[in-house]
Amino acid sequence: MSLEFPSKSANEGFARTAAACFAAQLDPTLEELEDLKTAVSEAVTNCIVHAYPKSIGKIRLKARLSENGMLEIAVKDWGVGIPNVEQAMVPLYTTGGEERSGMGFTIMESFMDTLKVRSSSGRGTTVTMRKKIKQRGDGEQ
């Protein structure tokens, strides 16, 4: 699945819902769906707030499934980029002003199995998150 949308705050809910609907084919638990939606919200919000601080830009959400139940979500922007990814991933670090918590990447890491951030100043950022959706067998609810 691939979606592109403007970096407007109203589209954060659209992105999280679209990702959850796509993931639903794996029959995730409600907890897994909520984790996924939260991580996608954080990634998209980062694009809106940090990648395009003074303009509206484009965000791409891609999702794919592998046969073993692995869900991969990539959120890409073509914004200002992150000069120092390692520093940006430190809890409480933010460039978004005092109203921002600086916990976005930490939240994504806690709800997903893996998180990879690639960025280039002036060219944008791609956040790739993976989560294994547990396969529920007979007798498990």
Angle subtended at Cα 76 by Cα 65 and Cα 47, rounded to the nearest 5 degrees: 125
> Is 16 designated active site?
no
> Is 46 designated active site?
yes
> Is 68 designated active site?
no
CA distance 81 to 79: 6
Angle subtended at Cα 59 by Cα 125 and Cα 1, rounded to the nearest 5 degrees: 105
Q: Which of 60, 100, 118, 130 is catalytic?
A: 100
CA 48 from chain centre, in angstroms, equals 12
Element (H, E) at 22: helix 10-23
- Catalytic residue positions, numbered: 42, 46, 100
